[in-house]
Structure 1
Amino acid sequence: DALRSGPQELDWFYVSPAALFGSFAPGETTGSYRLGGDELVTDAEGNSEISGTDFALAFVDEIEQGKHRRQRFTVAH
């Protein structure tokens, strides 16, 4: 809320990972990911996971492309 109510010239984004993310669930690197808004991204079976490398890819893509300025979004396989 503090970022959203900040001055318009403040450039930020917030990336939320899938439900299964972290050292306890390293996941498989695929080189791709799916995007969602404020909702958890799941597959057809209801699973939500992403590897650390694919999460990093989504983060770097956002820095380079800036498609979610002043927004929160979610990533998963």
Structure 2
Amino acid sequence: MMRVMVEAASSNTLLAGLGRDLDLKRMNILLAKMKEMEIKPNVVTFGILIHHLCKMHRVNEALQVLEQMMAVGD
């Protein structure tokens, strides 16, 4: 069996799909899995989160993600 490394790019694709479905619960589960697997979010990850949180009218949460992004410096 061939093992595949999961990276931020593939996680970001799935995160964007969940965002299109407005599935915040599963987005958060995926983010937790990324953390568990030591996959660091990148600028694309943060952008996806901000975009879809704004579409869900969760602007305050989107601003919190922006603050996290600036703190990480990515």
Higher share of residues assigned helix: 2
Same fold (TM over 0.5): no
Query: Structure 1 length as normaliser, TM-score?
Result: 0.30
Over alpha carbons, which structure has the higher Rg?
A: 1
Higher share of residues assigned strand: 1
